Amino acid sequence: MATTLERLKKLFIAKFDFKIEELTPETTLEHLGIDSLDKIEFMFDIEDEFAIKIPDEDFKATALTTIQDIIDAVDRFVVEQTAASQKLTASGGNR
């Protein structure tokens, strides 16, 4: 199974045509030339890839400056949303 970093690298390469060597956890989005609009558009790609919803209030464009910041946020959302989904399923869903 691919790691979050590996999956994000594929998204970065597909969307922005970066070289894989440029994409390390420490790489800043500013260094890559990604502006706030690019970040917002990329978040939609991340939501699709990881089957998550990134809450607007939790995902401020200025809060994420490195690829590691994105990895940490995605991993947190995946865990939170998977747990919430499992809890909902275990309780029989909305009735």
**Residue 95 belongs to some domain of the structure:** no
* pLDDT score at 60: 60
- The count of domains in the chain is 1
pLDDT at 83: 82
Q: What is the CA radius of gyration of the chain?
A: 15
Instruction: Pick the catalytic residue from 17, 35, 72, 75.
Output: 35
pLDDT at 69: 93
Residue 43 lies in a domain: yes
CATH number at residue 62: 1.10.1200.10
The answer as to whether 46 is a domain residue is: yes
- pLDDT recorded at residue 58: 63
In the prediction, which pLDDT does 10 show?
96
3-state secondary structure the chain: CCCHHHHHHHHHHHHHCCCHHHCCCCCECCCCCCCHHHHHHHHHHHHHHHCCCCCHHHCCCCCCCEHHHHHHHHHHHHHHHHHHHHHHHHCCCCC
75 noted as active-site residue: no
- According to DSSP, the residues that pair with 66 across neighbouring strands are 28
Question: Which pLDDT does position 36 carry in this prediction?
Answer: 85
Tell me which residue range forms the domain holding 21.
Answer: 4-90
One digit per residue, the tens of pLDDT, for the chain of length 95 reads: 799 999 999 999 999 999 999 999 999 999 999 998 998 899 999 999 999 998 877 666 557 899 999 999 999 999 999 887 777 677 776 55
